[in-house]
């Protein structure tokens, strides 16, 4: 554990010294992954669904605010929907406008959560999002979770019905039929309601427990969230008659648990063996304070200076004077 703590402190110091370079690199990686996943899943407009375009957009996102990443992703999605069907593009535009309204109104500081939620769904580990957001975010981050989840299920439904939606309109009500099919991906998607309800409930449970003044609050919150999430999803899939989801839920839960405990190690690693309870008063109140110190082991950066040894390893007289800050005559 000591080795891990020293490694953590070195990572923190390295990040502090190089933050101006690390943040753009992280933004580039997230943006590039996002655009490549859009291209691979719904890349209907071949002109923009190319790796060089994704690289250029990712480079722009690396130096621009997070909101610009959401804007570029929305533009790419709308272009792909337009290439698929004009009706689909219109419905998508309305949905994205609603998402923008919710995002900027309730969770403008949670842009990464809006982006990472559909990415985690695509990687089959969406269960980590309510855990991570409940641990290190505020409760209003639930709006970002809603936005990301709704967008993922909508685009996934469009992808599954791409053949029907891309067909030529042969009847007068053909356009209306396409709109009905698209809207049904939201209104009639029972799986989306199930997943969204369970994820939101998990976020609230984790958030409330980790704020309690109990020992190992984060650990209890993580375990409680994983158990509720796994049982709730498996029971819900059973009631809806959706088969084959149990392995995905279990494996995703294990991955989410590991990531959540890694977040705990980074942000809330406490040493409960040195817990202190303090009591003091002022003119109006008595105060009872429970203080739990963070687990901390400072790293040691040792520098070895050789005063003897092989000729190429020895310090010269001038270097020795500078190192010891003495007069050169003292060495004569």
Q: What is the pLDDT of residues 135-190, one digit of tens each?
A: 988 898 899 999 999 999 999 988 888 887 776 554 545 567 778 888 887 888 89
- Split at pLDDT 50, 70, 90, the class of 267 is confident
Residue 268's pLDDT is 73
Q: What is the pLDDT of residues 67-115, one digit of tens each?
A: 889 999 999 999 999 998 888 899 999 999 998 888 878 878 888 899 9
Is pLDDT above 70 for 28?
A: yes
**Does residue 330 or residue 9 have the better pLDDT?**
9
**Does residue 303 or residue 84 have the better pLDDT?**
84
Q: What is the pLDDT of residues 196-250, one digit of tens each?
A: 999 999 999 999 999 888 888 889 999 999 999 999 999 999 999 988 888 999 9
CB distance 73 to 93 below 8 Å: no
The stretches of the chain forming alpha helices (DSSP H) are 2-17, 19-42, 51-63, 66-84, 86-106, 111-122, 128-136, 142-160, 162-165, 174-187, 190-210, 217-240, 246-267, 317-324
The whole-chain average pLDDT of the chain stands at 83
Partnered with residue 280 across adjacent β-strands are: 287
In the structure encoding, which two tokens stand for residue 275, read together?
């817990």
CB distance 323 to 303 below 8 Å: no
CB distance 109 to 76 below 8 Å: no
- Please state the pTM of the whole predicted model: 0.79
- Compute the distance between CA of residue 35 and CA of residue 58 in angstroms, rounded to an integer: 8
């Amino acid at each position: 554990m000591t080795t891990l703590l020293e490694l953590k402190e070195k990572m923190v110091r390295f990040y502090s010294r190089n933050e101006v370079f690390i943040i753009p690199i992280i933004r580039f990686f997230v943006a590039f992954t996002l655009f490549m996943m859009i291209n691979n899943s719904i890349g209907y407009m071949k002109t923009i669904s190319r790796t060089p375009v994704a690289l250029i957009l990712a480079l722009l996102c690396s130096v621009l605010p997070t909101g610009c990443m959401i804007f570029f992703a929305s533009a790419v999605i709308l272009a792909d929907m337009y290439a698929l069907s004009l009706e689909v593009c219109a419905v998508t535009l309305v949905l994205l406008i609603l998402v923008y309204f919710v995002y900027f109104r309730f969770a403008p500081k949670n842009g990464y959560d809006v982006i990472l939620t559909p990415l985690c769904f695509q990687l089959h580990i969406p269960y980590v999002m309510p855990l991570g957001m409940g641990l290190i975010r505020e409760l209003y981050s639930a709006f970002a979770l809603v936005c990301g989840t709704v967008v993922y299920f909508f685009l996934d439904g469009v992808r599954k019905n791409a053949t029907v939606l891309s067909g030529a309109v042969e009847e007068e009500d053909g356009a209306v039929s396409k709109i009905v099919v698209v809207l049904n991906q939201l209104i009639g998607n029972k799986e989306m309601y199930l997943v969204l309800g369970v994820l939101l409930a998990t976020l609230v449970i984790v958030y409330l427990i980790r704020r309690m003044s109990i020992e190992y609050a984060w650990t209890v919150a993580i375990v409680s969230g994983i158990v509720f999430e796994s049982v709730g999803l498996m029971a819900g899939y059973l009631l809806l008659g959706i088969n084959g989801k149990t392995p995905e839920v279990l494996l995703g839960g294990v991955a989410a648990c590991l990531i959540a405990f890694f977040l705990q190690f980074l942000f809330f690693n406490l040493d409960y063996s040195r817990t202190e309870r303090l009591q003091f008063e002022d003119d109006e109140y008595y105060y009872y304070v429970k203080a739990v110190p963070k687990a901390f082991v400072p790293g040691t950066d040792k520098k070895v200076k050789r005063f003897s040894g092989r000729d190429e390893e020895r310090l010269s007289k001038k270097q020795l004077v500078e190192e010891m800050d003495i007069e050169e005559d003292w060495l004569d």
